[in-house]
Amino acid sequence: MKTEFNVLSKYLGGVECSDNYLREVYEAKFGRCDLNFISSIWLVVYFKDILSIIGFNKTLNVKLLFLVALLEASPAHKNLFPEKQSILLTILMAPILVLAFLVSLFFK
Amino acid sequence: MIKKFTIIGSGAAGANAALTLLEKGHKVEMLDYGKLDSAPLEISQTFKTVKSNARLAASFFYGNDFSGINGPNDTDIFKYPKRRPSISTTNLYDNEENTDQFQPIFSNCKGGLAVAWGANSIEFNQDDMIGFEYSKQDIESSYKVAFKRLHVSGPVHEDDLSSIVNASYKFNSSHDMSSADNNFIRSAKLKNKFFLKNKNVLVGQSRLAIDNRLNSDNKCYSCGLCIWGCPSNSIYTPLKTLKDCKKFENFKYINNVKVSHFKSDNGAIKYVVDKSGARYEASNVILAAGAINSAIILLKSFKENKIVNNNIIRSVGLLDTEVIKIPYLSLSKIFKKFTTDKIQFNGLLAMVKNENKNFPLWTQVELLSLGSLIYHPLLKKIPLGVKNSILAFNLIKSMLGVATIFLPDKYSDKNYIEMDFSGPRDKVRYSYSSTEEKKALKEKVMKKLKNYMRSLGSIMISSQAIEAKNGSGIHYAGTIPIRASKTRGCVNSDCKSYDFTNLHVVDGSVFPSLPSKSITLNIAANSIRVCERL
């Protein structure tokens, strides 16, 4: 059994957040919740997160956004938003952005 | 001849009026209801060091109750946490109705709303001053005093904006610019060099009321904590001017006074009356309680002195800058290193020329390169789920910026503050709506800006524009405007009331139209202009 805070912080940043203060704040707002093995699998959380696009799991969405805000204002922000750009992703993204720019030239 | 003045309010208008009058040898009594804002962090802390301590960061950025975290329906990118009482949606008069149409932000702090302002300091040009009934030339000398008091700093080099700022005001040396902002300015210069210079859009480094004097104890050390309260006291607030006022023996500051109305005799104010009924004898009154509260005090005074006998009394007008935030992507920054150590605050400024001559000429746009601690509200706007949104964000973050457009405003008879005296308790209502003319102006400004940004390799994502609610522009004005001929609820070009012979109004209330440029410097300059003549 893992706590929801541990599972979600790992899901967002890749590593579990070990800061007790942030855990206390999170649990003061949403309550302490232990997740079973299935619910703590990364893919399951990801699936639930994706489903929030079509209106499911709104609570999870609210929890994740609150956690992003908390982690962003802490040393853990570098896990969420690393300073180093991924070269591979940048190379993949560059043509799309250039294309978007060219397309935008034809719109008012 | 030494006169005695009673000043209501300690904001940019009140504090600068007081200092000007004291310097002329007059006696000044200031009535204020200001509390002190929360103390900022001690010097040496920076955005980076605060974030290295989770406990400190969470309470500092979001407040102990975490009210600074944006909720799902918030329309702003930044949210001031409750730790800063300088910004509040509750007025000290706490009897408002219909606030869904217009939701003003108040300051119940010493120093007024300017305690939490953005420090942008560009003076109004003649073409901005529609209906002012005095010329730019009439206020030049007051701007010089205001620039000195506010310690305005700006670039020593020439940029596009140099054509609309008066170099004789003597700027202090400029603040640091981020590499992203430097790149942007470089692109604009290259474009100007090789292509026809665009005179409809000007871009340059912000002129800010930040103390950057080399030998100053309050010199800015670029900590990046501006919007949460400047630790080094570098950003100008009226508290600095208030401190200078307190050096004069002729100055008396009375706190915890909620002014309600004036009591007059034969058209002259005899007493200033507070909410508890206490009276303060007055021979000359300077009203500087902020555009909204000044109007409320004046309307209540009309009722109390039977100048108007109706139960419902309206102010002449109500103006505010409409705010629109539009994200943009700068292709030139695609491979640039990105740092989360700093949040870039008011680095760049653009001015877009309006074609509609009924409005003030320039529309101010703040160009903000995103740093950190503002991701989460934007993530909500990417419809991919939180994890995927973070991944997408990491791809574009070094290129991402936000353009904040402040639209100018002009008089409309549909916009006003209304007081209802029919019930046991006085009520305040706001009426405010955007006109078709203003909507057309907005479209044109956005189009011009979009084209200009595109010419510098930046794509503005208009579909993601965030329009702030009416009233959140914070630049309130026009409630007791200047009029050339005698009109109830108005003032003449010297800001002298047409209703009370010994009353001058010096805050934003008197602006008959509202230029888009930040208002604090211009309010201070006008207040100095008025008081220099008294």
State residue B382 phi and psi, 5-degree precision. Answer: -95, 115
Question: B13: which DSSP letter?
Answer: H
Whether pLDDT at A46 is above 90: yes
ipTM of model: 0.88
Q: How many residues does chain A have?
A: 108
pLDDT of the residue at B209: 92
User: How many Å apart are CA A97 and CA B3, to the nearest integer?
Assistant: 66
Largest CA distance in chain A: 55
Instruction: Tally the residues of chain B.
Output: 534
pTM: 0.91
Q: Which helix (H) or strand (E) holds A9?
A: helix A4-13
What would the two tokens of residue B428 be? 């305040």
What pLDDT does A108 receive? 47
Give the SS3 label for residue B520.
helix
pLDDT in 10s for each residue of chain B, 534 residues? 899 999 999 999 999 999 999 999 999 999 998 877 777 777 788 888 888 888 888 888 888 788 778 766 666 665 666 666 667 766 666 666 766 678 888 887 889 988 888 889 999 999 999 999 999 999 999 999 999 999 998 886 678 888 888 767 777 777 777 777 888 888 888 888 888 777 889 999 899 999 888 888 888 888 888 877 888 889 999 999 999 999 999 999 999 999 999 999 999 999 999 999 999 999 999 999 999 999 999 999 999 999 999 999 999 999 999 999 888 888 777 767 767 666 666 789 999 999 899 999 999 999 987 766 777 777 777 778 888 888 878 877 778 888 999 999 999 999 999 999 998 888 899 999 988 999 999 999 999 999 999 888 888 988 778 888 888 888 999 999 999 999 999 999 999 999 999 999 999 999 999 999 999 999 999 999 999 999
Mutate to test the interface with A, among B178, B386, B397, B449 (most CBs of A within 10 A): B386
A76–B338 CB contact, under 8 Å? no
Q: Which of A17, A74, A92 to mutate to test the interface with B (most CBs of B within 10 A)?
A: A74
What whole-number distance in Å separates Cα of residue B298 and Cα of residue B30?
18
Q: Could you give the count of Cα atoms lying within 13 Å of B9 in the half-sphere of its Cβ? A: 33
Contact in structure between B294 and B288 (CB atoms under 8 Å)? yes
Mean pLDDT of A42-57: 89
With an 8 Å Cβ cutoff, are A69 and B383 in contact?
no
Question: Which residues in B189-208 are b (16+ Cβ under 10 Å) and which e?
Answer: eebeeeeeebeebbbbbbbb
Picking from A36, A33, A45, the residue whose alpha carbon sits closest to that of residue A3 is A33
| Count of pairs with CB atoms under 8 A, one residue in A, one in B | 119
One-letter identity of residue B258:
K
* CA of A1 vs chain B CAs: smallest distance (Å): 23
Chain B residue closest in CA terms to A45: B387
Alpha-carbon gap: A4 to the closest alpha carbon of chain B (Å): 16
